[in-house]
Chains A and B, each alone.
Chain A
Amino acid sequence: MVTINVNKFKCGYCGACVSVCPAGALELVETWIEVNELCTSCGICAKICPVGAIEVKK
């Protein structure tokens, strides 16, 4: 189940979220972020995103 929501209109596809994901659940593919089932909704990606494009689904 995908537990975060990446606003593709805001995202600058920089990969900062990928680098901080402790579970390695994110990947930057071309201009979009993919999230796999390893995501634990920890919210670190949402915290450090430079443009605030990520929202954690509760």
Chain B
Amino acid sequence: MKNEYDVVVIGAGPAGSITAKTAAEKGLSVLLIEKRQEIGDPVRCAEGVSKVWLRKHIEPDHRWICADVKGSRIFAPDGTMIEMAEEIAGGEVGYVLERKIFDRALAYEASKAGADVMVKTRATDLIIENNFIKGVKVSHLGQSYDIKAKIVIGADGVESKVGRWAGIDTAIKPADIETCAQYLMSGTGIDQNYCYFYLGNDVAPAGYVWIFPKGNDMANVGIGIMGNKSGNGKHAIDYLNDFVNDKYPDAKILEVDVGGVPVCGSIEKTIANGLMLVGDAARQSDPITGGGIINAMEAGKIAGEVAYNAISKGDVSANALNEYEIKWRETIGREIDNSLIVKDTFVKFTDKELNSLGHSLEGVNFSSMSLIELLYALFKANKKLLWDLRILFKNVVKYELDFER
């Protein structure tokens, strides 16, 4: 560890590692710090990711791919099933990863590109001089160090402190977080070719249950419920236990994962003088699916490039870093904003309305349908119900959004 770098990245998840890799490849001196002793562990994720988008950042490797799925099966509260082919099922379908290995592989890519990596190293505060972030204070094995940096990247996930230290209010309201619990189970007997989603306010209030195949006879069985529906004696884990006891009483639990996923949509700003936020720290996860890996990697790539541009010009002010703000909002940001419109509409639905949507899609041929055609089919059959989504269609046509992340 040196005491001065061009860029210090806080957090070695997908956002942090891609930022560090991109910046290091450009020739910047980079330090990537991770407060945990093992990168990628404990897992806080359902581990599904779109194949197309993943390949833009890393070549798939059998060491961290557990399952290659064909499509999704979505269940309305009354059991009506809609089956979607992979191409239209959205960003959560494609590969199911082993995050413990995947995250470490991404950190390895960053190290290979030249970045220094330190684990068991926690950021405790920012070094701020004349309203500019000039570095970070860290604690490593109980010792404190000051590390100077031209740019600090906050990739410290859902519990991000870096943004708050820089004066960006990243606190999430209960209605803007999905509180999640998941078991890795063996013996569920699910078809390993599909991801399963169960909707319904009894099963998962303002959220959903997912079952993602993990190879052999294993699967991630998890649930996310909206934070404001949690508490009063029933938490995400209690809903998960109800579901598992009902559906898979004989399956075995091999791992417990918990976490919170921001579903608030874009936050007001993700930059300050000498600082950028990426990934969950910037609340860049998708408000509908909760998927965040691809958005995190996309944002990381942009942040790494912008860091290089800014440092090359000798200007790391918020004004210069606005290039990052503009670029991520024009790409992943647009889709996050549109997903927020859909989420805000869907969380208000009663089980009866969800069933009605499910029925209107029975018998529809999904193998040749794009997601937007699917939304049109839903809208046509449920105009009154989906009236709030009309703005979405305008945006989709205007920006040719693809919804595949």
CB neighbours of A12 from chain B (8 A):
42, 181, 256-259
**A interface residues, Cβ below 8 angstroms from B:** 12-16, 18-22, 24, 27-30, 44, 46-52
CB neighbours of A50 from chain B (8 A):
179-181, 230, 235-237, 258-260
A-B contact pairs, 14 of them (CB 8 A): A14-B42, A14-B158, A14-B258, A14-B260, A15-B158, A16-B259, A16-B260, A48-B179, A48-B227, A48-B260, A50-B181, A50-B235, A50-B237, A50-B260
State the CA gap A14–B257 with chains docked (Å): 8
**In angstroms, how far is the closest chain A Cβ from the Cβ of B139?**
9
User: Closest residue to A28 on the B side, CB-wise?
Assistant: B159
Residue in B157, B164, B260 whose CB lies within 8 Å of A20: B260
Residue in B171, B230, B236, B259 whose CB lies within 8 Å of A15: B259
CB neighbours of A52 from chain B (8 A):
235, 237-238
**In angstroms, how far is the closest chain A Cβ from the Cβ of B120?**
8
Q: Of residues 175 to 189 in B, which have CB atoms within 8 Å of A's CB atoms?
A: 177, 179-181
**In angstroms, how far is the closest chain A Cβ from the Cβ of B232?**
8
Q: Of residues 27 to 47 in B, which have CB atoms within 8 Å of A's CB atoms?
A: 35-37, 42, 44
Q: Are B260 and A51 in contact (CB under 8 A)?
A: no
8 shortest A-B CB distances, which residue pairs? Answer: A16-B260, A15-B159, A18-B159, A12-B258, A47-B231, A50-B236, A48-B227, A52-B235
Q: Are A20 and B172 in contact (CB under 8 A)?
A: yes
Interface size on B, residues (CB 8 A): 35
User: Closest residue to B120 on the A side, CB-wise?
Assistant: A30
CB neighbours of B227 from chain A (8 A):
20, 47-48
User: Closest residue to A29 on the B side, CB-wise?
Assistant: B122
Q: Are A27 and B161 in contact (CB under 8 A)?
A: yes
Task: Tell me whether B90 is interfacial, beta carbon within 8 Å.
Answer: no
CB neighbours of A21 from chain B (8 A):
171
User: Closest residue to A11 on the B side, CB-wise?
Assistant: B258
Given contacts A15-B157, A16-B259, contact A48 B174 (CB under 8 A): yes
CB neighbours of A28 from chain B (8 A):
159
Of A13, A48, A49, most buried by chain B (CB within 10 Å of CB) is: A48
State the CA gap A51–B161 with chains docked (Å): 22
**In angstroms, how far is the closest chain A Cβ from the Cβ of B177?**
6
CB neighbours of B179 from chain A (8 A):
16, 48-50
Q: Are B258 and A30 in contact (CB under 8 A)?
A: no
Of B158, B235, B237, most buried by chain A (CB within 10 Å of CB) is: B235
Q: Of residues 145 to 199 in B, which have CB atoms within 8 Å of A's CB atoms?
A: 157-161, 164, 170-174, 177, 179-181
Q: Of residues 85 to 126 in B, which have CB atoms within 8 Å of A's CB atoms?
A: 122
Of B35, B172, B256, most buried by chain A (CB within 10 Å of CB) is: B172
Q: Are A16 and B177 in contact (CB under 8 A)?
A: yes
Of B170, B228, B260, most buried by chain A (CB within 10 Å of CB) is: B260
State the CA gap A29–B122 with chains docked (Å): 8
Q: Are A19 and B231 in contact (CB under 8 A)?
A: no
Q: Are A22 and B231 in contact (CB under 8 A)?
A: no
